[in-house]
Structure 1
Amino acid sequence: MSDSQSSNSNQTPTNPAQTDSRSAKARQMLGMKGAASGETSIWKIRLQLMKPITWIPLIWGVVCGAASSGNFTWNLENVMIAAACMLLSGPLMTGYTQTLNDFYDREIDAINEPYRPIPSGAISIPQVVTQIFVLLLGGLAIAYSLDLWAGHEFPTMTILTLGGALIAYIYSAPPLKLKQNGWLGNYALGSSYIALPWWAGQALFGKLDATIMILTLFYSMAGLGIAIVNDFKSVEGDRQLGLKSLPVMFGVGTAAWICVCAIDVFQAGIAAYLISIHQNLYAVILLLLVIPQITFQDMYFLRNPLENDVKYQASAQPFLVLGMLVAALALGNAGV
Structure 2
Amino acid sequence: MQQTATSKPALSTQLQAHLELADPITWVAAIAMVFCGALASSQGTPGFDPTNLNHLLLAGLAALMCGPFGTGFSQSINDYYDRDLDAINDPARPIPSGRVSLAAARANWMVLGLGTMLIGLFLARYSLWIPIFALLSLILSVLYSMPPIKLKQNFWFGPPAVGVGYILLTWLVGHLLFGQLTWPSLILALINSALAAGLLFLNDIKSVEGDRQLGLKSLTVALGVRQTLVVAYTIIDLCLVAMLVLALWGGYLWAAGFVALALLAPIPFQIRLFRDPTHTNFKYFLLVNNPFVLLLELFSAFIVGGYFG
Does TM, scored on the shorter chain, surpass 0.5? yes
User: Which residue is equivalent to 2:29?
Assistant: 57
Alignment of 1:1-336 (within 5 A): 41-70=13-42, 71-73=47-49, 74-148=51-125, 150=126, 152=127, 155-209=128-182, 212-299=185-272, 301-307=273-279, 308-333=281-306
Q: Give the share of equivalent positions with the same residue, in percent.
A: 37
Tell me if the contact between 2:71 and 2:166 (Cα under 8 Å) persists in the aligned partners. Answer: no
> For the structure 1 residues 120 and 40, does the alpha-carbon distance in structure 2 shift closer, same or farther, using more than 3 Å as the test?
farther
The CA deviation at 1:91 is: 0.6
| Worse-superposed segment, 233-242 or 307-316 | 307-316
Letter in 2 for 1:213: L
Deviations along 1:178-228, one digit per CA (max 9) or x if unpaired, are 101112101111232321211111111222245533442233221111111
Aligned-residue RMSD, C-alpha:
2.1
Letter in 1 for 2:104: Q
In structure 1, distance between residues paired with 2:303 and 2:241: 14
The CA deviation at 1:329 is: 1.7
Using structure 1 for the length normalisation, give the TM-score.
0.82
| Worse-superposed segment, 82-91 or 201-210 | 201-210
In structure 2, distance between residues paired with 1:118 and 1:40: 16
The CA deviation at 1:289 is: 2.4
| Worse-superposed segment, 205-214 or 69-78 | 205-214
Relative contact order, higher structure (CA 8 A, sep 6+): 2
In structure 2, distance between residues paired with 1:298 and 1:68: 34
In structure 2, distance between residues paired with 1:326 and 1:176: 37
Deviations along 1:154-175, one digit per CA (max 9) or x if unpaired, are x111011001001111111112
In structure 2, distance between residues paired with 1:209 and 1:173: 34
The CA deviation at 1:40 is: 6.6
**What is the count of residue pairs matched by the alignment?**
294
The CA deviation at 1:280 is: 4.0
| Worse-superposed segment, 189-198 or 71-80 | 189-198
The CA deviation at 1:249 is: 0.7
In structure 2, distance between residues paired with 1:210 and 1:111: 44
Letter in 2 for 1:146: L
In structure 1, distance between residues paired with 2:114 and 2:218: 31
The CA deviation at 1:62 is: 1.0
Using structure 2 for the length normalisation, give the TM-score.
0.89
In structure 2, distance between residues paired with 1:72 and 1:296: 37
Unaligned runs of 5+ in 1: 1-37
Letter in 2 for 1:54: T
Tell me if the contact between 2:185 and 2:301 (Cα under 8 Å) persists in the aligned partners. Answer: no
> For the structure 1 residues 115 and 39, does the alpha-carbon distance in structure 2 shift closer, same or farther, using more than 3 Å as the test?
farther
Tell me if the contact between 1:140 and 1:158 (Cα under 8 Å) persists in the aligned partners. Answer: yes
Letter in 2 for 1:46: H
In structure 2, distance between residues paired with 1:201 and 1:40: 34
